Amino acid sequence: MSPETAPHSGAEFADRTYIVTGGGSGIGRAIALALAEAGARPVVAGRTPERLDETVALIEKTGRSALAVPTDVRDPQAVDALVAAAVDRYGRLDGLVNNAAGNFVVPGIDLSPNGWRAVVDIVLNGSYYCTRAVARHLREEGRGGSILSVIASYAWHGHPGTVHSAAAKAGVLAMTRTLAVELAPLGIRLNCVAPGPTETDGAGAALWATPEARAGVLASVPAGRFAAPSEVADTALFLLSDRASYLTGECLTLDGGQWLGKQIYGRTTATA
């Protein structure tokens, strides 16, 4: 594929196969749909079969192919079976999107060990199990590939109320930077995308469940709006694609300026 290939031409990812965890909703579904539109066969994994089936149906309606594999990423054996199912169906695997996440807002001092474990297991352990399984397959096949993890800027600046998620996402960033080096000789690239507040049901329910909470989040974004899942998918596809072929161990933040936008001395952003 030449670097000049137009994005979303329907051929950029022709016949490639990518596993997308959490592919039954929100950002994961948007990435799966965009991958299919660009010619790939997404394999969507998650805990709720009905939601995965909905994603597959949306893709099949466009004349493309996708596979649903109900999977709990916290179970390493289930993750190995997911990789085997993807290869069995499509004959090859080219990469992975670690998107499955769990989150809720609670002061860290009040979080139970089980609550901590639930989020860290999904986000950090699950991303590692999936990355390991996909990388091992790529190594066996002697083929390079691309692995993308969806994190959040609080991986590096922290965030009161989501200590479990912030710590887990920070772990995923460190995992990405570490394995980007270890796996570079095999032609396997690892990167992250850090979306800001994104208009999805899952994040909305977990993080801004009331109109007041939503308004507060919105006020924190200099761009003045939430991200659309399709915007996150665009960045995700760039990082997965050959257009980013020399890019590894990086994180692209798309948050409308949110994490940089501390306005300590009053409102200092431009008005129209």
Binding residues for ligand HXC, rule: CB under 6 A, are: 101-104, 106, 112, 114-115, 118-119, 152, 165, 196-197, 202-203, 206-207
- Residues 191, 194, 195, 200, CA torsion sign: positive
What residue spans of the chain are helical by DSSP H?
Answer: 26-37, 49-61, 76-90, 113-120, 126-141, 154-157, 163-183, 201-207, 211-219, 229-240
Among candidate residues 18, 154, 246, 265, the one labeled active-site is 154
Of the two residues 104 and 156, which places its CB atom closer to ligand HXC in the complex? 104
- Nearest in space to 228 (alpha carbons), one of 31, 67, 3: 31
Active site residue 246: no
Of the two residues 13 and 154, which places its CB atom closer to ligand HXC in the complex? 154
> CA angle, corner 160, sides to 157 and 163, nearest 5?
80
Of the two residues 40 and 227, which places its CB atom closer to ligand HXC in the complex? 227
Of the two residues 64 and 74, which places its CB atom closer to ligand HXC in the complex? 74
In the complex, the smallest distance separating the C-beta of residue 152 from ligand HXC, rounded to whole angstroms, is 4
Whole-Å CA distances, 132 to 46, 103, 110, 127:
18, 23, 33, 8
Three-state DSSP state, 48? coil
Of the two residues 23 and 144, which places its CB atom closer to ligand HXC in the complex? 23
- Residue 266: CB partners within 8 Å, gap ≥ 6? none
Pairing verdict, β 145-150 and 188-195: parallel
> CA angle, corner 73, sides to 92 and 107, nearest 5?
145
- Stated as kind and residue range, the H or E segment containing 19 is strand 17-21
Active site residues: 154
